[in-house]
A and B are shown apart, each in its own frame.
Chain A
Amino acid sequence: MQRRDFLKKSLLTGAALSLSSGGFAEQLFTNQSKKLTILHTNDMHSRIEPFPNDGGRNANQGGMTKLASLIKKIRAEEENILLLDSGDFFQGTPYFNLYGGELELKLMSQMGYDASTLGNHEFDNGLEGIKNQLQHAKFSILSSNYDFQDTILKNTFEPYKIFKKGGVKVGVFALGIELKGLVGSKNFGNTKYLDPVAKAEEMVQELKSKNCDLIVCLSHLGYSYRSEKIDDVKLASKVSGIDLILGGHTHSFLEEPTIIKNPEGHTTMVNQVGTAALRLGKIDFEFSKDHQISYASHRSLTIY
């Protein structure tokens, strides 16, 4: 671990020093800096246990029972952790068919998830299937762009939540994919799908007005489509102000987070970690107060 920390610091120092305005690199590593670790999953698809030991590609890998021990280990190492998920925790193994999602939500609660959102597969047992299982979730399920007003899920989901971790205010909102054509119409009933871009802009305004230090979007839109269909990459380029998009739906195993600098100069990090709890994403933030306001126009990014 030590060697890694050393590397990380030296590389980051290098990154900071590579900026034209030198001098604040040291400031980034002062004792006053605040650390935040965001752990994230997506599309766990009822993978309660590791894949069976059947010689398959993922044999003995993934699954919530293993995920839990990794999270426990990281909790012992890091102080300020936010544990997030981007939906589709339902469907994929007989556990879902037999118990309707109860076990998935109970295990996520035990692991201490802070928030998740609704993927399309959350609708697999209809709106009733969601309503009946929510009692098992001891964490927030957020949804910013599904309007459930005319359904049995009216007033059930908050559009966003603000988490305070170690002095950092993190605003989290959540976007779902268009259900029509993807989910049987009986299963979503009168749920209205609202434009993710307009909703995201509204959420960013709202969270900024509440002085959030970091704005995170849990997205089940999908990473990137060749068509015009909205995805995480397009969202990042269209909406300014989102710091981090944690994606899902396309089961993308990204080798590294995608960094998108939009036309207005805002930078957003997009990440997604495959499916079935085969990977746990970890994004470490280090915040520091910077008194040299002259850097305000200096937005810089270095990727190693």
Chain B
Amino acid sequence: MNKMKRIFFTRQVLFASLISICLFGCSPQLNYQASGEFNPIDETIQQEAELVAFIEPYKDNMEAKMGSVIGTTQKALTRAGRESLLGNFVSDLQLEYAQEAFGYPIDISIINNGGMRNDLPEGPVTLGNIYELSPFDNFLVVLELQADDVKKLAEFIAVRKNMAFQGMRITSENDKLAELNIDGKDLESGKTYLLVINDYLANGGDNMEFLIGLPVKENSTTSIRDMLITMIQQKTAAGEILNAEIEGRLKIN
């Protein structure tokens, strides 16, 4: 089998499994044999000129739109550091957007560092920049957490340090949760906290299994990307310059 596979490799076909099925399908008169393979669509294959020409006006229009400036940053908002400028920027906008769009106060906003795929440059920000920052179609979700759930969340962040957030202050000591406050206050047992997060994490992505099964207050169809675009356009229209600071949201001792 290996040998055969190798032979087929040299014939531009990465795989070929020959399967002979001799059976009676839906017709008692016809037998068939089948062989399956796949053809990689790699660098050896040229684009079809006809289609390239057909998409050209769509592409030109798209590139013009992607190049359009929707806001301006005061400084580069990067992912550098455990608490990052970009992480703070995105989690701030996410909290602000969710409270406006859903119409109630929300306690905590979280974005996974891995969900932010590119930095924002200093100066003009284009629509294309936002697509590069957030290429995934992850949607905003609001979850209801009890004090214990919030503690679990903070413990997770104190260990992994892989999340950007707003609404909490976390101190991590020796990879453990040392201090936690929400909006400047200690956790209150019996209180329900609202968390705005994306559906990828809410469904247990990035090892956040403890979020699975928590009551879902909002299951929106707004992607993080659309949220960012809406908020940046809104701020720009109001004459704001985009900015964020490192504020000690996550302290590591």
Report if A and B associate in a common complex.
Answer: yes
Q: A61-B43, A184-B219, A267-B21 given as contacts; is B51 within 8 A of A284 (CB)?
A: no
B186 in the interface, Cβ–Cβ < 8 Å?
no
Which chain B residue has the least Cβ–Cβ distance from A36?
A: B32
When distances are taken between beta carbons in the complex, the residues of chain A under 8 Å from B29 are: 289-290
**CB interface residues, B 30-46, toward A, < 8 Å:** 30-43, 45-46
A69-B45, A184-B139 provided; 7 other pairs, C-beta below 8 A? A16-B33, A62-B41, A94-B66, A211-B27, A279-B38, A295-B31, A303-B18
> Whole-angstrom distance from the CB of A221 to the nearest CB of chain B?
18
CA distance A278 to B43 in the complex (A): 11
When distances are taken between beta carbons in the complex, the residues of chain A under 8 Å from B40 are: 61, 278-279
State the 6 A-B residue pairs at the shortest beta-carbon distance, nearest first.
A256-B17, A15-B20, A68-B48, A184-B221, A65-B47, A257-B36
**CB interface residues, A 235-262, toward B, < 8 Å:** 241, 243-244, 254-257, 259
> Whole-angstrom distance from the CB of A34 to the nearest CB of chain B?
8
**Complex partner residue of B18 from A8, A61, A204, A269, CB under 8 angstroms:** A8
Is the CB–CB distance between B36 and A299 below 8 Å?
no
Which chain A residue has the least Cβ–Cβ distance from B221?
A: A184
Q: Which of A95-103, A133-141, A142-150, A152-160 contacts B (4 or more CB under 8 A)?
A: A95-103
Residues of chain A touching chain B, judged by Cβ–Cβ distance below 8 Å, are 1, 3-4, 7-8, 11-12, 15-16, 19, 24, 28, 48-50, 60-70, 72, 74, 91-92, 94-95, 98-99, 103, 106-107, 110, 121, 124, 126, 168-169, 171, 184-187, 204, 207-208, 211-215, 241, 243-244, 254-257, 259, 266-267, 269, 271, 273, 277-290, 293, 295-296, 298-304
* Size of B's binding interface in residues, CB under 8 A: 57
CA distance A25 to B58 in the complex (A): 53
**Complex partner residue of A69 from B13, B34, B35, B48, CB under 8 angstroms:** B48
Is the CB–CB distance between A299 and B23 below 8 Å?
yes
Which chain A residue has the least Cβ–Cβ distance from B20?
A: A15
CA distance A277 to B51 in the complex (A): 15
Is the CB–CB distance between A303 and B17 below 8 Å?
yes
Is the CB–CB distance between B25 and A61 below 8 Å?
no
CA distance A304 to B45 in the complex (A): 28
Is the CB–CB distance between A65 and B32 below 8 Å?
no
Q: A48-B55, A66-B46 given as contacts; is B26 within 8 A of A256 (CB)?
A: no
Is the CB–CB distance between B36 and A66 below 8 Å?
no
When distances are taken between beta carbons in the complex, the residues of chain A under 8 Å from B30 are: 168, 213, 287-290
Which chain A residue has the least Cβ–Cβ distance from B139?
A: A184
CA distance A50 to B128 in the complex (A): 18
Is the CB–CB distance between B19 and A301 below 8 Å?
yes
> Whole-angstrom distance from the CB of B57 to the nearest CB of chain A?
10
Is the CB–CB distance between A301 and B21 below 8 Å?
yes
> Whole-angstrom distance from the CB of A47 to the nearest CB of chain B?
10
Is the CB–CB distance between A283 and B36 below 8 Å?
yes
When distances are taken between beta carbons in the complex, the residues of chain B under 8 Å from A169 are: 27
Interface string of B135-165 (1 = CB under 8 A from A): 0010100000000000000000000000000
When distances are taken between beta carbons in the complex, the residues of chain A under 8 Å from B35 are: 8, 12, 283-284
When distances are taken between beta carbons in the complex, the residues of chain B under 8 Å from A66 are: 41, 45-48
B217 in the interface, Cβ–Cβ < 8 Å?
no
When distances are taken between beta carbons in the complex, the residues of chain B under 8 Å from A215 are: 25-26
B61 in the interface, Cβ–Cβ < 8 Å?
yes
CA distance A185 to B30 in the complex (A): 45
When distances are taken between beta carbons in the complex, the residues of chain B under 8 Å from A266 are: 23
17 contacts between A and B (CB under 8 A): A1-B11, A4-B8, A12-B20, A63-B41, A64-B51, A69-B47, A98-B62, A212-B26, A213-B25, A256-B15, A269-B21, A278-B41, A283-B34, A285-B33, A290-B30, A302-B19, A304-B19
